[in-house]
Amino acid sequence: AQTVTQSQPEMSVQEAETVTLSCTYDTSENNYYLFWYKQPPSRQMILVIRQEAYKQQNATENRFSVNFQKAAKSFSLKISDSQLGDTAMYFCAFNPSNTGKLIFGQGTTLQVKP
C-alpha cells in the first residue's frame, strides 16, 4: 500500500528562523509526484511546492524548498525566514503518475512565534 508519514505532529519556530518539516512515503512505483500543501486556520488548502520524482533537482519556491531523497523515500520541506503567515497545518502528499489521487500524510501543525 502507498502511504505517507509525517512524524512531527506539531512544530514551532521563531519568526525569521528556518524550520524543516519531515515526510516519508512508501511506494513501489518509480514515477510519481510529491507535494506539500498548506492549510491555514481558514481551512482552504493551498499548494506550496511540487516535486516530480524523475527530476533530481530539488524544487524551490521563494522561501520554500524541498530535500528529495528518492532512495530513502524522504521528502522534507524547508521554510526559510519564517513569517507569521506561515502558521498553518502542512500536509505532505503523494500522487502516483497515472492517477489524480492524492494520498496525504497526517499533517504537521506549524506555529510561527513573534
Partner 1 sequence: ETGVTQSPTHLIKTRGQQVTLRCSSQSGHNTVSWYQQALGQGPQFIFQYYREEENGRGNFPPRFSGLQFPNYSSELNVNALELDDSALYLCASSLGGLPRNEQFFGPGTRLTVL
CB atoms within 10 A of CB 12: 12
Q: Which is nearer to partner 1, 100 or 114 (CB)?
A: 100
Length, in residues, of the chain: 114
The rounded radius of gyration (Å) of the Cα atoms in the chain is 14
48 binds partner 1 (CB under 8 A): no
| Residue from the set 28, 30, 44, 57 that interacts with partner 1 by CB under 8 A | 44
105 makes contact with partner 1 (CB under 8 A): yes
Question: H/E element holding 104?
Answer: strand 103-104
Angle at 38 between CA 35 and CA 40, to 5 degrees: 170
Among the listed ranges 16-24, 43-51, 58-66, 76-84, the one in contact with partner 1 (CB under 8 A) is 43-51
Supply 11's cell numbers: 512544530
Q: 14 or 31: whose CB is closer to partner 1?
A: 31
Q: Is 98 in the site for partner 1 (CB under 8 A)?
A: yes
User: Residue 97 interacts with partner 1 (CB under 8 A)?
Assistant: yes
When asked if residue 45 is in the footprint of partner 1 (CB under 8 A), the reply is yes
Cβ neighbours of 67 (radius 10 Å): 15
Binding site for partner 1 (CB under 8 A): 4, 32-33, 37, 42-47, 50, 52, 91, 93, 95-107
